[in-house]
């Protein structure tokens, strides 16, 4: 970067950061003043149950259904008038706070998302939503007058709710990934792919390996694993170095953004309230041909800009190149941690699709119940993680101390992902509390092309946010929160026109568009591949953009052919 541009860049970053903090402080101050204003006489003389109340220990509490009926009857005197500008302003302001903190101050995604959620919470109507403390905390509508602390409690409660939905899944995925690397299961999958496809089609083997391994293992880790093998192949063949690198990127990036349990698609599925098994099936169905398109582009790039391998700083030795094939587990055992959760969850989803949610036959109902137990995402991932731990323990020579250290490392890395993903869930929950669904619903009333518009809006939001701040996961988190406000009324009215699970791969595809210097994946590809910034822009950025556009096109085709509407 030119020296004269640095002061200007620092000024822009500081200005954005100060603006974000000023907005947060102004929002909190305005909210506190609003709480302190006296309530006009004659308005809400009889308030509903205050939020955050402690229910009596003797169990003398109002039945929830009775309370809901009372709440439902209350607006009969005059339904709440939802402001058109306020929810949209709150959403825009929250997104601005998140992006300005991440771009301007280079703030951690967790901090930026929490501050964005707090900003939105200040615009939630005072008497719209409240949390009731009870043996099972719940949300009540028209909860009555709240205190200023409610602004924070809404965020913390939403954060906890998001952790309950994705915490176990991400933690188990981190354990599976770490144990597969340590036990050699990941190496076995790669070596087997190379044996099947042969050295002439080694790039295809790299793509397939990246595609499979990025389902349970984080993309950066997969790239670190496979790049040494790509360098080893180049030493033997003396050609196709860029092809190997781009093939790894094509296979790994697509499942990282389309197939759970990776954090991005996992949270999008939760935010849109769609079945994770359906998302897995659609992600694999759309991701496979999309990865093939990325492979074709990689072949073309390798022809138009052949690149020779350069030495890595500090040497290029890697345990992956030196590990003997005989010490690795067998291929069936190596594939179990990857395929087991996918099979368990998919079987449960498919069985329910054929038998219905409430089968009359008691035998079918019993089978469905047991499949539902083992096909639940949490238990399926726990079983797969336990098998991966066992595999690691066996390869490590029954060394429990080393095994415990590997699991701890996995949980440390997974904990950061859980916090970021849960903060995104809180951001989306607070966005929903602004009643933005009612505002967005009015935009689509009477429109015959609402479904197509939703797909294009979802893709466009994810792409724009991705280019602006760099992280695919954050792009998926923010865009899914905004898209959920659009789809909720359409799904309720059966007017979406396709299964809402299609929006997960659409948003995932959008989050791959325009990866450049503000994306950590850009630098992983450049540094591990020893490429210049220009070479990375002409290879990595092009491949991911093609994946993005292809993923959108295939999603549109599948929506037209198989909408899966009820």
In angstroms, rounded to a whole number, what is the distance separating the alpha carbons of residues 255 and 445? Answer: 35
- Upper half-sphere CA count for residue 284 (Cβ side, 13 Å): 15
Q: Say which residue the tokens 């509903």 belong to.
A: 48
pLDDT bracket for residue 355 (50, 70, 90): confident
Neighbours of 383 (CB within 10 A): 17
pLDDT at 508 over 90: yes
In angstroms, rounded to a whole number, what is the distance separating the alpha carbons of residues 544 and 531? Answer: 16
pLDDT bracket for residue 313 (50, 70, 90): low
In angstroms, rounded to a whole number, what is the distance separating the alpha carbons of residues 547 and 297? Answer: 9
When the pLDDT of each residue in the chain is averaged and rounded to a whole number, the result is 78
Each residue's pLDDT tens digit, 358-401: 787 888 888 888 988 888 888 999 999 999 999 989 887 778 88
pLDDT bracket for residue 194 (50, 70, 90): confident
Contact in structure between 101 and 112 (CB atoms under 8 Å): yes
Contact in structure between 172 and 164 (CB atoms under 8 Å): no
Q: Going by DSSP bridges, is the β-strand pair 138-141/129-132 parallel, antiparallel, or unpaired?
A: antiparallel
In angstroms, rounded to a whole number, what is the distance separating the alpha carbons of residues 282 and 501? Answer: 8
The mean pLDDT value for 19-34 works out to 51
Question: How much is the pLDDT for 45?
Answer: 37
Q: Which residue(s) pair with 132 in the sheet?
A: 138
Question: How much is the pLDDT for 204?
Answer: 94
Contact in structure between 430 and 422 (CB atoms under 8 Å): no
- Upper half-sphere CA count for residue 396 (Cβ side, 13 Å): 21
Residue 330, by phi and psi: left (phi above 0), alpha (psi -120 to 50) or beta? beta
Domain boundaries, the chain: 165-409
The mean pLDDT value for 338-349 works out to 87
User: Greatest CA separation found in the chain?
Assistant: 85
| Token couple for 358 | 């409430």
- Give the SS3 label for residue 437: helix
Question: How much is the pLDDT for 298?
Answer: 95
pLDDT at 67 over 50: no
Each residue's pLDDT tens digit, 117-171: 888 888 776 555 444 444 444 444 444 455 667 778 888 888 888 888 888 988 9
Q: Which helix (H) or strand (E) holds 468?
A: helix 450-469
Q: Which helix (H) or strand (E) holds 247?
A: helix 241-258
Residues contacting 163, CB < 8 A, separation 6+ = 418, 422, 425
Q: Which of 144-153, 320-329, 431-440, 483-492 has the lowest mean pLDDT?
A: 320-329
Contact in structure between 425 and 165 (CB atoms under 8 Å): yes
Contact in structure between 393 and 122 (CB atoms under 8 Å): no
Each residue's pLDDT tens digit, 476-493: 988 998 888 888 777 877
| Token couple for 522 | 């850009």
Contact in structure between 285 and 211 (CB atoms under 8 Å): no
The mean pLDDT value for 198-206 works out to 89
Contact in structure between 241 and 309 (CB atoms under 8 Å): yes
Question: How much is the pLDDT for 82?
Answer: 52
């Amino acid at each position: 970067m030119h020296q004269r541009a640095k002061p200007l860049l620092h000024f822009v970053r500081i200005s954005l950061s100060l603006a974000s903090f000023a907005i947060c402080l102004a929002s909190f101050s305005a909210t506190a003043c609003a709480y302190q204003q006296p309530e006009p006489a004659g308005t809400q003389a009889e308030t509903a149950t205050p939020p955050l109340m402690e229910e009596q220990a003797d169990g003398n509490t109002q039945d929830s259904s009775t309370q809901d009926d009372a709440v439902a009857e209350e607006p009969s005197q005059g339904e709440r008038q939802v402001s058109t500008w306020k929810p949209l302003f709150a959403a825009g302001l929250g997104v601005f706070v998140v992006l300005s903190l991440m771009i301007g101050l280079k703030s951690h995604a967790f901090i930026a998302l929490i501050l964005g959620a707090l900003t939105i919470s200040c615009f939630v109507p005072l008497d719209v939503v409240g949390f009731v403390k009870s043996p099972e905390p719940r949300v009540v509508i028209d909860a009555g007058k709240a205190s200023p602390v409610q602004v924070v409690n809404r965020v913390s409660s939403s954060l906890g709710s998001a952790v309950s939905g994705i915490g176990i899944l991400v933690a188990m995925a981190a354990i599976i990934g770490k144990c597969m690397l340590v036990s050699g299961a990941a190496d076995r999958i790669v070596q087997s792919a190379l044996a099947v496809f042969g050295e002439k089609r080694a790039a295809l083997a790299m793509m397939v390996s990246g595609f499979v391994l990025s389902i349970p293992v984080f993309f950066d880790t997969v790239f670190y694993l496979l790049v040494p093998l790509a360098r080893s192949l180049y030493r033997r063949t003396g050609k196709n170095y860029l092809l190997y690198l781009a093939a790894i990127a094509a296979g790994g990036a697509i499942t990282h953004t389309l197939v759970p349990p990776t954090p991005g698609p996992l949270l999008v599925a939760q935010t849109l309230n769609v079945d994770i098994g359906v998302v897995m099936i659609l992600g694999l169905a759309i991701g496979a041909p999309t990865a093939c398109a990325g492979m074709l582009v990689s072949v073309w790039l390798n022809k138009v800009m052949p690149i020779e391998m350069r030495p890595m700083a500090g040497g290029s030795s890697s345990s992956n190149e030196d590990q003997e094939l005989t010490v690795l587990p067998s291929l069936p055992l190596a594939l179990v941690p990857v395929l087991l959760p996918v099979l368990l969850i998919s079987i449960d989803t498919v069985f329910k699709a054929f038998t219905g949610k409430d089968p009359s036959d008691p035998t079918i109902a019993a089978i469905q119940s047991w499949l539902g137990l083992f096909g639940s995402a949490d238990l399926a991932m726990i079983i797969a993680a336990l098998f991966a731990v066992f595999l690691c323990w066996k390869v490590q020579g029954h060394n429990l101390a080393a095994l415990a250290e590997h699991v701890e490392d996995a949980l440390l890395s997974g904990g950061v992902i859980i916090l970021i993903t849960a903060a995104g869930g809180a951001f989306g929950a607070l966005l929903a509390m602004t009643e933005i669904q009612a505002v967005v619903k009015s935009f689509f009333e009477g429109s015959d092309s609402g479904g197509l518009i939703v797909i294009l809006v979802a893709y466009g939001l994810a792409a724009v946010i991705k280019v602006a701040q760099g992280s695919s996961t954050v792009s998926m988190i923010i865009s899914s929160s905004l898209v959920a406000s659009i789809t909720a009324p359409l799904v309720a009215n059966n007017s979406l026109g396709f299964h809402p699970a299609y929006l997960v791969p659409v948003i995932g595809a959008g989050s791959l568009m325009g990866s450049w210097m503000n994306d950590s994946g850009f630098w992983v590809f450049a540094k591990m591949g020893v490429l210049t910034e220009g070479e990375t822009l002409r290879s990595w950025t092009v491949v991911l953009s093609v994946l993005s556009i292809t993923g959108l096109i295939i999603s549109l085709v599948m929506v037209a052919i198989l909408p899966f509407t009820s």
